[in-house]
A and B are shown apart, each in its own frame.
Chain A
Amino acid sequence: MGEREYDASSHAPPAEVEEMELVHPRTFLGKYIWSQDAKVIAVQYALTATAIGLVALVLSLLMRLQLGFPNSLALIDPGSYLQYVTMHGMIMVVYLLTAIFLGGFGNYLIPLMCGARDMAFPYLNMLSYWVYLASVLILVAGFFVGGGSSGAGWTLYPPQSITPGTPGADAGIILMLVSLAVFIIGFTMGGLNYVVTVLQGRARGMTLMRLPLTVWGIFMATVMALLAFPALLVAVLMMLLDRLLGTSFFMPEMLSMGEGGEHRGGSPLLFQHLFWFFGHPEVYIVALPAFGIVSDLIAVHARKNIFGYRMMVWAIIIIGALSFVVWAHHMYVSGMSPYFGFLFATTTLVIAVPTAIKVYNWVLTLWRGNIHLTLPMLFAIGFLFTFVNGGLSGLFLGNVTVDVPLSDTYFVVGHFHMVMAVAPVLVIFGAIYHWYPKVTGRLLDTTLGKIHFWMTFLGTYAIYYPMHFMGLQGVPRRYYAYGETAFVSDSVQSLNAFITIAAFVVALAQLLFLYNLAWSYFRGREAGPNPWRATTLEWQTPHTPPRHGNFGEELPVVYRWPYDYSVPGVKADFIPQNVPPEAVEREAPVGRGGGS
C-alpha cells in the first residue's frame, strides 16, 4: 500500500504542552462579562449573534409580508423593503452565521476538542468579542439615523450604494461600512486565536489527523476568513473614501439625481471583484464548519466512524483552496470580460467534486450504522437533504450558460438560502441540541425539539424549493412588487402568499426553540458528563459544564482518533480519545461485529 504505520517515535520526544497561566476572576463581572474564558466568550458570541439574527428574521418576515400580501401594510414602502433586504442579508451572512460558527462554536469547541486549557491568546480573544459587539451596535445604529439603514442590497454594489436614489445613502451606508471594518478587525483577533490554538495548543498525542472534523472545518474556515476578509476590508475602505472624500476608486463618470456628479473614471466592477473575492470564500467560511460539525453529529449518533476520514479532511482543504479561484461566477452577467466565463465555470464545477465526496461519505457513514434518531441526528439528516438540494441547484448557477437566464431571479434566492441559510442553520440547531448538555449540564426537551425540527425542516423546504421555479419563469429578485409583469403569471402571487405563510410557521418554530432553550436551562433533564456516549475530549472533562481551564488538574493525553465507535471486539460501542489501548475493555472473542 506504500503506507507506513503511524510511528510516534519518529517525532520529537513527547514534549509536555506548556501549562498556561489563566486569569481566574472572582467577581460576577469578571466571570461572565469581562471573561477571558473561551467558553464564556463563546456563549457571549452566540447570544449576541442570536439576538441580531432575530432582528434579521423579523426583517425577513416584513419582506415576506410585502411579497405575499403586497401593499397591505403602510409601513413597508419600496425604500424600506430594500433596507430590509440589505440588513437581513448582511446580518445573516456576516453577523450571525460567521460569528456563531467561528466565534461561538469555534471558541467553545476548539480548546475543548484539542485538549487545551484555553485559547492561545485569551486577552485578545476577549477583545475580539467586544469589538464584534461594537460592530453589531454600529450596524444597528443604522436603523435609527436619518434616512435609515442602507438599502443597497447586501452586496453593496457601487455606484448606487452611495448615491441618492438608494435608501440610506447618506448615513446608513457609512455606518454599514464602518461596522464591517470593525467586524473584520474583531474577527482577525479571534481568528488568530483559533488558528494558533489548533496549531499549537493541542494536547499530547492529538496529531492533526486525530482532530475531530469539527475542528478541521472551523480551522480551515478561519484560515480562509483571515485571507478573504481583507478583500472586503480593502473594498470597504475604498468605498468610504469614495463616499466621504470624493475619490473615484469605484465611482465612474455618471449622473446623480439626474445631474453630473463629481466622480470620474472609477470602476464599479473593481468593487465586485473585491467583494466576491471575499464573498465566495465567505460561503465556505459558513459551510466548512457546518460540514465539520455535521460529520461529528452523524458519527456519534450513528455509532459509526466517519467514512473516509482522510478523504473528508482533504476535501475540506481542497474546497478551502479552490474557493479562492471561483469568485467571478457571481459576475457572469456583470459586464466583465465574457471570456472569464470559461475559466470560472470550470473551476466552479471542479469544486463540486470534493463537495460531492463529502456528501457520499456522510451517507455512507449512515449505511450499516446503528442510527439513533436523536434530535442532533434529525437535524443532521435535514442538513444532508437540504444541502444536497442546494448544492445541486448550484450546478445550474455555476455553469455559465445556464446561469445567464437564471441569475438575478428567485432561482438564485432559492439556491443560496437552501445551501447557505437553511443547511448551516439546521447544523447550528443540531449542534445546539448536541452540545447544550455540555454547556449547561441539562438536555433540551425532546418533544419541543421534535416539533421545532419538523416545523423548521418542512417549513423551510416549502419556502425555498418552489422559489427555484419562480426563478425558472424569470421572476426577478429584489422586487418590491410585481405589478402587471407580463411573464409573471398570476399563480406566482398565490405561491408568494403560500411562501409567506410558511415563513411565519418557521418563525413560530424558532420561538418554540427559544422557549426550549430557556426552559431547559432550569428544568431540563440532568445530562451527566457524556449523554451521547461520544469519544471526543469535550465529553471527557471532569466537570460538566467544564470549568475555566477545562480539564481539571491534568491535561488529557490522546491515544486514538475521534471515531472509535463500534470497534470490533470492544465491549462498549465507543472508546474515548483519551483511553489508552491497554485500558480498553475487550469482549470475549466470540463477540459479534463486522469489519476488518
Chain B
Amino acid sequence: MAIAIALIVLAGGSVLFYFLSPWHLTPLASNWGAIDDTIIITFWVTGVVFLAISLFMAVALIRYRHQHHRRALYEPENKRLELWLTGITTLGIAALLAPGLFVWGDFVRAPDDAHEVEVVGQQWHWSFRFPGRDGVFGDARNALIDVANPFGLVADDPHGQDDVLVDHPAVLLPVDRPVRVLLRSKDALHNFKVPAFRAKMDAVPGQVTSFWFTPTRTGEFQAVCAELCGIAHFAMRARVQVVEPQRFDAWLAEQPTHGERIARGPGNPEAGQAHYAACQACHGPRGQGQQATNAPRLAGLDARYLRRQLHNFRVGARGTREGDDFGRQMRPFAQSLPDEAAIRDLAAYIETLPLAPTAATVEGDRRLGERLYRSCATCHGPQGRGRAAYRAPRLAGMSDWYLVRQLEHFRAGIRGRHPQDAYGNQMVDMAQVLVDDAAVRSVVAYIGGLATEE
C-alpha cells in the first residue's frame, strides 16, 4: 500500500513541480521561440503519459495486492490490446518528432541576410572576429597563432587585413539582425552557449562549425562554455551585449582590424621611460616594488598584462571597489597617462626592467601550497613564469605580500568582479579554490620558492 501511495504522491508531485518550481527556461532573447514550443509540447505529452502509467500502476497495486484467495488471471497475450498500444504510441512519437524536425529544418539553414561573427574558443576564454568591410573572413590556421597574431590569420590573404579582431571576451551584437555564428577552437573542444538564445554549438579544433539566431531583445547576456575543456572549464565566460544597430556599428568601428594591429606594433620603451617617472616613487626606480609604499614589484611582468591592468585602472574596472584602498590610490596615476599609446610605451619599458627576485616575507605550508598550486600551474605555468596565451602574468619572484593581498581580494570579490575585468572574473572563480587564509599563504609561500629555483 505504501508503495502505491508513494507512486501517486511522486507522480502528482513531479507534475506539480513543473508548474511550481522556480526553475524554468531563462527568458527567451532570440528568434528560437519554436524550440521552446517543442520543449513545452514534449513536457505535456510526456507528463500525461507519465501520470497515466504511474497511476495505472498504483491502481493495479491497490486492487490486485495479494489476498489469500486471490488468483491471478492467466492471459499470455492479447494481440488486439498490444496492437492498439503500439499504434497509439507510434502516433504519439510521431507527434513529438514532426514539430522537432520542422524546427530543425530552420535551424540548419541560416537566412541569406545573416551577418557573420566568428567565435574563437581557447583554454579558457573567448575572442571574436568580424569579417570587416569586405564581408569575407581571411583564412586562419591554428599553426600560425602567436602573441602578435592571436587569431592565426594567414599573412598573405587580403581578406584578412580588414577583419575586425576582438581579442577579449566581450562582444556586441545588433538586435533583430540574424547572425550566423562561426565557431573555431585553438586547442580543445568548447561550446559557445548563451542560454537565452537557446541555440548553441561545439567549437572543434581543425574545423569550423556554425549555428544561427536572431537576437530579439537588447541587454547583456552571459556566455559560458558548455563542453568540458579542461580544469578551468567552469570559469570560461564571455559577455554578449545585444544593442541597437547604430551602437553596434559605432562599437565595431572602434575595434582594431588585423591590419591596424600589425601596423601598430609593440610600444616604444624609450618613450615609456619618461612616463615611468611618475611610477618610481612608489614602485622603485627599477620596478622592484616597495612594501613600505604598498607598491608591488612590476619588473618581470609582461607588457600585455601591464597594459590590461593600466587600462582597467583607467576605466574603473580596478581600483574603485570598497576595501581596495591601495588600488584606489593607483587609479589617478593610471588616469594621468594621456592615451593608449602612452600605456603601450610604458608597458614596453617596464618589460625591459631586469628581473631580480624579491625576498620572501610570507610563511606557509609549502607542501600544501604545492598541491594547491596544481590549479594555478596550467595558466601561470609550473614554474610560475606566466603564460601570455592564457593571459596569466608571472607570479614567481613577484612581491609575495602583494600576491596574498590580491588573492584575498579575488576571493572576496573585491578585485575581478567588475564586468569589464574579464580575466579578473575568471580569477575570482579560481581563487575560491583556496578555502582559507592558510591556503592562500601556503600557495604564495610555494610560489616564493619557485623564484629561488630559477
Contacts and interface: CB of A to CB of B under 8 A. Distances in A.
Interface of A: 70-74, 77-79, 82, 151-153, 157, 159-160, 163-167, 252-260, 265-269, 302-305, 307-311, 333-335, 338-339, 341-342, 345-346, 349-350, 352-353, 356-357, 359-361, 363-364, 366-373, 378, 381, 384-385, 388-389, 392-393, 395-396, 399-402, 404-409, 457-458, 461, 465-466, 469-470, 472-474, 476, 478-487, 489, 491-492, 495, 563, 565-568, 573, 592-596
B183 A335 contact: yes
Contacts of A470: 23
A481 B432 contact: yes
Identify the interface centre among A167, A470, A472, A491: most chain B CB within 10 Å of its CB. A472
A353 B93 contact: yes
Identify the interface centre among A73, A371, A593: most chain B CB within 10 Å of its CB. A371
B273 interface: no
Interface in B409-449: 417, 425, 428-430, 432-436, 439
Given A253-B141, A568-B74, A592-B71, A400 B104 contact: yes
B187 A357 contact: no
A400 B101 CA distance: 7
Contacts of A473: 23-26, 195
B231 A151 contact: yes
B61 interface: yes
B66 A305 contact: no
A78 B433 contact: yes
Nearest to A147: B374
A254 B201 contact: no
Given A159-B189, A368-B64, A458-B6, A165 B72 contact: no
Given A165-B378, A253-B205, A492-B23, A77 B70 contact: no
B232 A78 contact: yes
A474 B195 contact: yes
B281 to A, nearest CB: 35
A254 B205 contact: yes
Nearest to B188: A160
Given A78-B234, A369-B64, A469-B23, A255 B53 contact: no
B231 A595 contact: no
B26 A359 contact: no
Given A165-B230, A567-B74, A268 B204 contact: yes
Given A307-B75, A461-B10, A481-B234, A157 B228 contact: yes
A339 B142 CA distance: 27
Contacts of B46: 392-393, 395-396
A318 B161 CA distance: 57
A247 B424 CA distance: 38
B378 A594 contact: no
Identify the interface centre among A341, A342, A385, A457: most chain B CB within 10 Å of its CB. A385
Given A82-B228, A341-B108, A73 B435 contact: yes
B348 interface: no
A396 B41 CA distance: 10
A385 B206 contact: no
A566 B72 contact: yes
Interface in B217-245: 221-222, 224-235, 237
Contacts of A164: 378
Interface stretch (B163-171, B337-345, B383-391, B394-402): B383-391
A260 B144 CA distance: 8
A360 B222 CA distance: 44
Contacts of B73: 304, 368-369, 566, 594-595
Contact of B205 (A78, A153, A268, A484): A268
Contact of A384 (B57, B85, B433): B57
B86 A353 contact: yes
Given A78-B231, A79-B375, A388 B224 contact: no
Contact of B97 (A254, A349, A573): A349
Nearest to B124: A165
7 A-B pairs with least C-beta separation? A258-B389, A252-B206, A474-B195, A595-B74, A335-B209, A160-B188, A304-B72
B361 interface: no
Nearest to A389: B50
Interface stretch (B14-22, B253-261, B298-306): B14-22
Given A333-B202, A357-B85, A396 B23 contact: no
Interface residues of B, number: 122
Given A399-B96, A484-B428, 12 more contacts: A82-B231, A157-B227, A269-B204, A309-B76, A309-B77, A346-B101, A369-B72, A373-B3, A404-B35, A458-B6, A466-B21, A470-B23
B155 interface: no
27 contacts: A73-B435, A78-B430, A78-B433, A165-B123, A252-B206, A254-B186, A307-B76, A311-B77, A333-B201, A341-B104, A345-B97, A345-B104, A346-B97, A360-B82, A368-B64, A369-B73, A370-B66, A371-B60, A373-B61, A381-B7, A396-B42, A405-B195, A408-B226, A469-B23, A472-B23, A473-B195, A476-B225
B71 A253 contact: no
A405 B207 CA distance: 22
Nearest to B429: A483
A181 B46 CA distance: 39
Contacts of A253: 141-143, 205-206
B56 interface: yes
Given A253-B206, A302-B72, A566-B71, A366 B60 contact: yes
Contacts of A77: 371-372, 374-375, 433
Contacts of A401: 34-35, 38, 99-101, 103-104, 107
Nearest to B10: A461
Contacts of A478: 228, 233-234
Contact of B54 (A364, A385, A402, A485): A385
A349 B74 contact: no
Nearest to B83: A311
Given A254-B187, A486-B221, A335 B202 contact: yes
A380 B339 CA distance: 73
Contacts of A573: 71-72
Nearest to A71: B432
Contacts of B288: none
A404 B199 contact: yes
Given A396-B42, A473-B25, A595-B73, A265 B206 contact: yes
Contacts of A491: 22-23
A532 to B, nearest CB: 13
Contacts of A350: 93
B450 interface: no
Interface in B364-381: 368, 371-372, 374-375, 378
A254 B152 CA distance: 11
Given A165-B231, A478-B228, A483-B428, A335 B222 contact: no
